[in-house]
Structure 1
C-alpha cells in the first residue's frame, strides 16, 4: 500500500478492498487478488481524515471523518463527495460506522452519543443527522471510549465497543432510545477493542494494540458472548485496527500506531487470516506476509523476498503487475517455503530490467501455489530505473 496511515477497511460483493487514510483522507481501492490499486476518492488533506468506512450495494462509501466531526458520503464510481455533514462539538471524533437497512450509524469516541443518518429504500442518504445520546450502563472515559460498531445477530439493536467500562467490553444499544446495557462477555475484556465484524453469530473483535482478534459467539439478542478463540500473529500483526471479509478470509489493515512519527518510508499493508481459525481447526495458517527488497543497479534492479505464513514446503511464485505487459510478468525464480512456512533470510527472486516509459512502480504479487492464495510483497522502482 502507499504510505497513508490506513485505519478502516470495507469490502463489498467484489474482491476489492477500500482502505481509508488518516493522513490525507484518501480512499485507496486494492484488488484482493493482486494487491494493486489506486486512490478512488481524493482526500481533503490532514484536517479531514478517513477513519472507519463502509460501502453499500449501490456504490456509495460512508466515511467517518474523525476529529473533523464530518460524516461524508462518496460515490465510488466517480470518486466525488456527494454529501458532507458536520456533527458533534469541538471534542467530537467520528470513528466507525455500520449500515442497517434504514440507517447508517456512526460512533463518537469522545462524546457519549451515536449519529444516525437515515437511508432511503435504495440506500440514498437523508438530509439530516439524528444525534442519539447514550445512557443506561454507558460510561464515558477520559480518552477514546466508543469505537467499533455492528448490529446484534437478530438485527434489533447495536453492539458498540466501550473500551473504558469495566475494563473494556461491549454495550448493547437500543437504537430507538440510546439506552445501553453491558453485554455479558464472561472474563473477556476489550480494553483495546477497535473494529467489529459480525458473521452470523460469530463476532470478531479486533484488539489493535494487543495485535489480536478475539472471537466470540454472540446470542441472538446480543446480550451474552462466549469466547471461542483468540487469533494472534506477532510477526505479521502490526496494530491491526478493523476487519472485513471476502470469501473464506478476513482482511485487516495494519495501522502501525506503534510508529510515533510516521515518515514517507514507513510501510503499511493489509494482512489476512482464514475464517476457519475461529473454529480452532488445526493446520490453518495465520496471516501471510511476504516482504520485498530491491537492490538497484544502473538499468534495473535485483529483487529479493522474505516471508512467513506460507504453505509448508510449498512452491512460491512471484509476478510483476502494473508494468507494460498484458498479463502478470513472471519473475522466473520460484522459491520453496520451509517446513515452518517461511522464506528465511532475503532470497533472490529475479532481475527487473528498465522498461522505457514505465510510469509508476511495479507491484510484486506472490502466489502460494499449494493453497492458491495470492498476496503482495510490495512495490519496486526497478522497472523504471533507467540510469
Structure 2
C-alpha cells in the first residue's frame, strides 16, 4: 500500500510537470462578486515541486478569514500533488484559536499573536509542548468605501478613528473636506461597518488606530469590536459584501476582498498619502521585529511608520501549531503543507493574490521551525 501511494504521488507530480502551467484559482467560501470570494480571479502556474513525504488523509483547520483566499489557493495545489484533503473553514481568528486549543483542528490561522492564556490552553492538547505562531503571510488592511462620484479619498488616523467611533457621521464633514479639498463630497450619512465576529483583522485595525490616533481612539483593542454604533457583518467576505451594496458605506478588510472597490489612501505624515498595495504593505512589514519566545515567531508591527510609500494598516497571519505533541495521524500532512506554503513556491503565490510574502530573514526561521515540529 505504501509503494502504491508513493507511485500515485509520483504520477501526480509527473502530470503536473508535463502540463507545465496548470491554472490555479483561489476560491473563497463566500461570494462577494467574483470567483474567489474577493471579487476576482488569481492564477499561477504549478511547478510540481511539492514534497509530500508521508502526507495522507484529511486535515481539519479553521481561523483567519483574512488568509482564506491564500489558503484556498495553496490547498488546491497541495491537494492536487499529495492527495490530502484540507478543510479550512475560515471562521475567524477567534474561532480558529478556540478550535485549536480544544484539539479540534490540526492547525489554526490567526492574525494576532497568541495571548498567554491561549498558550496555556494549548498545553492541554500539545503533549509536552505548546502552541506557537508561524508568520506565513502579510498584507494591507484596505479601508474600502462606497461613495459614487468619489474615486479618490484620503483619510488620516484621527479621522478614521472618529468615523468608526460614530463621531464623524456625514461624508461632507469638515475633517474629511480638509483632507479632500477637490473632492465632491456628498451630504450623505456614513455607514461604518465592522466585524461581528472575533477577528484578527479587527485587532490589527484597532491597533493601528490606537497607535496612530491615541487621542481619538480610547479603546483597549482586541479581536472583538469595542466601539459603539455602526453596523456589523461576519468575516472579511461578509464585510466587503455589505460595503459593496450599501451607499455611503465604509469598512476594513484585506486587499484581496476589495477588488473592484475604491479604497482609502492614508495620510501618514509622509510626503504623499499611501495607497493600500502589496508593495506598500511590504515596506511596513519589513520593519517588523520577532518578539515571540521559544519557537514562537510572533512579530511586533510598526503601525506608526512615516516612511515613504509604507502603508501602515497591515496584518500578519500566523499558522498556529504545536511545537511538540502534534497528533501522529496528522503531523506528516501538517508538516508537508506548512513546508510548502512557507517555501519559495508557496510564498511566490501570495503577491498574485494581493498578499505580501514574509520577509526572507523571518520566513527562513519559519522553515527551520517547521522541520523541527514533532
Query: Structure 1 length as normaliser, TM-score?
Result: 0.24
TM-score (normalised: structure 2): 0.25
Structure in which a larger fraction of residues adopt helix:
2
Structure (1/2) with the larger strand percentage: 1
Structure possessing the higher relative contact order (Cα contacts under 8 Å, 6 or more residues apart): 2
